[in-house]
Structure 1
């Protein structure tokens, strides 16, 4: 299955605050917040939602096409992605700005405060999906993940024009979208990905209730942190799947991206949704146990053991031939 992942490509600057953000917020002063947190450490890692998802697909043995815009400082990052199975030939390199930066601080409760500098990502809308599809010999799926809003809108519209199946993952960019834009990004998606907070924000932003959103997508997949995943579709009872328990919680950055990679890998192998969900949750837990969004590995034996324990041996048996093929 030929998958193109459109989205941000960035460098992550990750810090840990040894306290709780909530303890520093004064309810009667929220209109004039001015805070500075002394952090214990700083990790500089490869990141960006599009690159994170492509990395996860590559780790699972696929060769996704990464589609995004970067600066001339991308050379080392490009090598890293290629070493992990990602095709970077469709990445646009511009000298207009540096590659995007994600700056995030995480507290003891795994709450995060972050900011994102778009940089070269602002050029992503100039990328033509028709040319990407031609160079790839056709595409079976396009994932439209957080990117410059005009790029997300253009690539979604191009998917409709070209008849390319697409998945919508607006997530962090919902706050930047108008009602019309949010509706455009959702309508016609084979899969819609959100977390629980984004699901509520999407309903408010679009002005559509749950049923109206479901009528416009194939399936709506909502991740809920430790509570697992909910899958909803028109005419079906919502299905709930538990999370795979972690051995340790190290860093939540990129966990949702890892889930998407695992889910899309499972569906690319022609497996049922519930099996793809199980793989997504297992890969997400591997990411949660690792600092940085592209430092985890996906050993088949470990994934299969976790999946069997959480979802049952029959689910693991369906995944085994595909995961073990990578050995």
Structure 2
């Protein structure tokens, strides 16, 4: 299965604050917030939603195609992605703008305050999918992950025109997308990915009920943090897959991206959605234990052990043929 992942490619500047943000929010003064948090640590990591997802897919042997825009500072990052099985030949390099930056502070309760600078990502709106499909002899799925808003709409409309199945992952950009753009991204998606809060935003932005959204997508996959993931299809009972146990949380950045990689890899192997979700939850747990979104490393022994621990021997056995081929 040939998957193209469109979206952000960024450098993450990740800081930790030893207290809780909520302890410094004064009731009645939230319209005049002026806060500065002294961070204990700073880690500079490779990130960006599309690159994070492609990294996970690459580790699972899928050779995903990354489609996005970066700056001339991308050379080392590109080598890293290629070494982890990612096709970067469709990444556009801006001659002037720098690669996007994600600056995020995480408190001890795993709450985050972040700022994203688009940089070269704004040039993603100029990219077309047709040359990518032509270069590869076709695409089986395009994931539309957070990106320049115009690029997200363009890629979605191009998928419809070319007859390529697409998955919608509007995520952080729901705050920037107008209602019609959100409807465009969602309507006809093979899969819709949100977290619990984003699921509310999608309903509010589109003006559609949950039932109306389900009538427009193949399935709706909602990540629920420590409660796992919920999978919904029109006319069918919702299925909830619990999360796996986490040894010690290091950094929540990119955890949802790791889930998407595992889930899509499972679908690419023609596994049922709940089975694919279990693989996604294992990757999410491993990513949460790592100090950055592309720092976790997959091996068959660890992944199998986490599957057995979280879901039992039969559930792990369903993934053994895939794991043997991928890892």
Same fold (TM over 0.5): yes
Counterpart in 2 of 1:36? Answer: 36
The alpha-carbon deviation at position 111 of structure 1 amounts to 0.3
Tell me the distance in 1 between the aligned counterparts of 2:2 and 2:304: 25
Tell me the distance in 2 between the aligned counterparts of 1:6 and 1:323: 25
Tell me the distance in 1 between the aligned counterparts of 2:215 and 2:225: 25
Counterpart in 2 of 1:218? Answer: 218
Q: Could you say what secondary structure the match of 2:240 adopts?
A: strand
The alpha-carbon deviation at position 323 of structure 1 amounts to 1.2
The alpha-carbon deviation at position 300 of structure 1 amounts to 1.2
Counterpart in 2 of 1:239? Answer: 239
Instruction: Say yes or no: does 1:301 pair with 2:310.
Output: no
Cα deviation digits, residues 60-115 of structure 1 (max 9, x gap): 11100000000111000000000000000000011130000000000011000000
Two-structure CA RMSD over aligned residues (Å)? 0.7
Counterpart in 2 of 1:146? Answer: 146
Instruction: Say yes or no: does 1:252 pair with 2:252.
Output: yes
Q: Could you say what secondary structure the match of 1:27 adopts?
A: coil
Q: Could you say what secondary structure the match of 2:226 adopts?
A: helix
Uncovered stretches (5+) of structure 1, i.e. residues with no partner: none
Cα deviation digits, residues 191-224 of structure 1 (max 9, x gap): 0000001001111111111001111100000000
Instruction: Say yes or no: does 1:26 pair with 2:54.
Output: no
Residue correspondences, number:
327
Correspondences of 1:1-327 after superposition (within 5 Å): 1-327=1-327
The alpha-carbon deviation at position 259 of structure 1 amounts to 0.1
Tell me the distance in 1 between the aligned counterparts of 2:314 and 2:47: 34
Tell me the distance in 1 between the aligned counterparts of 2:33 and 2:269: 49
Tell me the distance in 2 between the aligned counterparts of 1:34 and 1:22: 13
98-107 or 199-208: which moved more?
Answer: 199-208
**TM-score of the superposition, structure 2-length normalised?**
0.99
Tell me the distance in 2 between the aligned counterparts of 1:223 and 1:289: 17
The alpha-carbon deviation at position 317 of structure 1 amounts to 1.1
Cα deviation digits, residues 178-199 of structure 1 (max 9, x gap): 1111100000101000000100
Tell me the distance in 2 between the aligned counterparts of 1:300 and 1:168: 29
Cα deviation digits, residues 252-301 of structure 1 (max 9, x gap): 00000000000000110111111100000000000000010000011111
